[in-house]
Amino acid sequence: MSDFIRMSAAEVARGVNGAAFSASDVTDAVLAHVDAVDDRIGSYLTRLHDLARETARNVDARVKNGEKLPLAGVPVAVKDNMCLTGTRTTCGSKILENWISPYTGTAVQRILNAGGIPVGKANMDEFAMGSSCENSALGETRNPYDLDRVPGGSSGGSAAAVAAYEAAIGMGSDTGGSIREPAAFCNIVGFKPTYGRISRYGLIAFASSLDQIGPLTRTVEDAALAYEAMAGHDPMDSTSIDRQVEAASTALRTDLKGVRVGIVKEFVTENLGPEIHALYQQTYAELEKLGAELVDVSLPTADYGLATYYLIAPAECSSNLARFDGVRYGMRIEGADVGQMYEKTRAAGFGPEVKRRILIGTYALSSGYYDAYYVKAQKARTLFSQDFKRAFESCDLIASPAASSPAFRFKSKSDPYSMYMMDYYTIPMSLAGLPALSVPCGWVDGMPMGLQLAAPLFEEARLLGAAHAYEQATHHARRHEPKMLEVAS
């Protein structure tokens, strides 16, 4: 395997900016590696070799002209719900299978402006609805650590690409855990910033009040660099926060002295099995060894997270996906009249999970049920924010599992409820709009697990700094290579 493949984003950028090697050198090596391994992994729905090489040449020219680019020559996997001009943008759905984006989303453009190289459009659960990447209608993505297991979802393609050295940065979106859970499954870092920190312009919407773009990387430092490149106010997104972005990559620390870490008493781990329980007890002890003070905190509404989320998110999905009707773009199946066209197009274009959530959301918003379900869920969401605000009065960060189990085998979760339970620990942070991340914390049954850390609103620098200290002290991610990955020589 080429040395370029294993380099972190920070190492690539330093090398390209310092003229030790070129962006084109890195790009050629990564594209060759993608061609060698991705037929087995399935990270990408669309490979962008020509665009990648053209972008790399432009980056080399900019560097030669004296520019210092924070992501110079860094290979990037773009989740396929993000628009990039002239590329197929499918959302993992048949209804958009052949749609070509006419514009580039703000977050993607900022990555390109910083010197990133778009390697391909990464697979995902259809319209970001899922926790395993099994809901993609257009391809199967496998976990690089065990090809019989899922990579997590919905950002499974981006996570697998980073874990399999097919990119140094994966762009993902997180609605209820769709960055953090696949990061945990694939032994990488997954970071969801504060809601509104990164523009959603050009992100095809699932649940607009929850969706947030963020990076998946192999190191916390790389996550900080990607975050700095993407974050900032955007007038094209009405929910974008007009607030200065703190430098995160210079706030990384080596210990946790003086940091109070909250352990949520409602987030019990005993019911996850003895091995997983023991792992998280060890993980919390590792935080203490780094100087953190562990404090007990309470989130009384924690058990209502799933019910709240699976009313709000489907309701917003029902509204957002109404635009896919065969009239303006995407799949169109003719009918005897316009009503029949709608029905045939949506029946053929959407998969089972998307249809399930549209039905749930439509029901929750319907006359006679709106107050009983949707309004009540919004009131519960307010309680989540209040609970976190009280909890953070006695701690600086909150620690918990990032997922309820290691990556599971394909088709092993046949009922929706067991799949939804995978997001039990991540959904509360999403409902409150908090920044949260997953960092590798150990292994169970030969598969990686993730520690979730969450911080108060806009405390991304604090969060990334603490995660870096934990990562550098423990090195859990380095203990195993993707054992079934055939690497390019």
pLDDT at 486: 46
d(CA 386, CA 326): 42
Percent above pLDDT 70 for the chain:
99
Give me the residue spans of the domains in the chain. 3-258+398-479, 302-381
Percent above pLDDT 90 for the chain:
95
Number of H helices, E strands in the chain: 16, 11
What does residue 365 show for φ and ψ, rounded to 5 degrees?
A: -95, -5
- 121 belongs to the catalytic site: no
Place 295 in a pLDDT band, splitting at 50, 70 and 90: very high
What value does the mean pLDDT take over residues 364-381? 93
Would the pLDDT of 84 be above 70?
yes
Would the pLDDT of 14 be above 50?
yes
Q: Which CATH number fits domain 3-258+398-479: 3.30.1360.30, 3.90.1300.10, 3.30.420.40, 1.10.287.470?
A: 3.90.1300.10
pLDDT at 291: 98
- 178 belongs to the catalytic site: yes
Question: Which residue reads 């999403």 in tokens?
Answer: 430
What value does the mean pLDDT take over residues 291-311? 96
What value does the mean pLDDT take over residues 178-183? 98
Residue 222 near residue 71, CB atoms below 8 Å? no
What value does the mean pLDDT take over residues 349-357? 97
pLDDT at 99: 97
Active-site option among 79, 121, 192, 413: 79
Would the pLDDT of 273 be above 80?
yes
3-state secondary structure at position 194: coil
Place 427 in a pLDDT band, splitting at 50, 70 and 90: very high
Would the pLDDT of 2 be above 80?
no
User: Minimum mean pLDDT among 164-178, 390-404, 406-420, 423-437: which range?
Assistant: 406-420
Active-site option among 154, 173, 249, 404: 154
Place 481 in a pLDDT band, splitting at 50, 70 and 90: confident
Mean pLDDT of the chain: 96
Torsion of CA 75, 80, 84, 87, to 10 degrees: 100
Q: How many CA atoms lie within 13 A of 318 on its CB side?
A: 18
pLDDT at 233: 98
Please list, in sequence order, all residues whose beta carbon lies within 8 angstroms of the beta carbon of residue 79, skipping any fewer than 6 positions away: 121, 122, 124, 155, 157, 158, 170, 171, 172, 173
- 173 belongs to the catalytic site: no
Would the pLDDT of 1 be above 60?
no
Give residue-wise pLDDT tens across range 90-140: 999 999 999 999 999 999 999 999 999 999 999 999 999 999 999 999 999
Active-site option among 24, 93, 178, 438: 178
d(CA 401, CA 142): 22
What value does the mean pLDDT take over residues 260-272? 96
What value does the mean pLDDT take over residues 228-245? 97
Place 478 in a pLDDT band, splitting at 50, 70 and 90: confident
d(CA 244, CA 258): 26
Would the pLDDT of 487 be above 80?
no
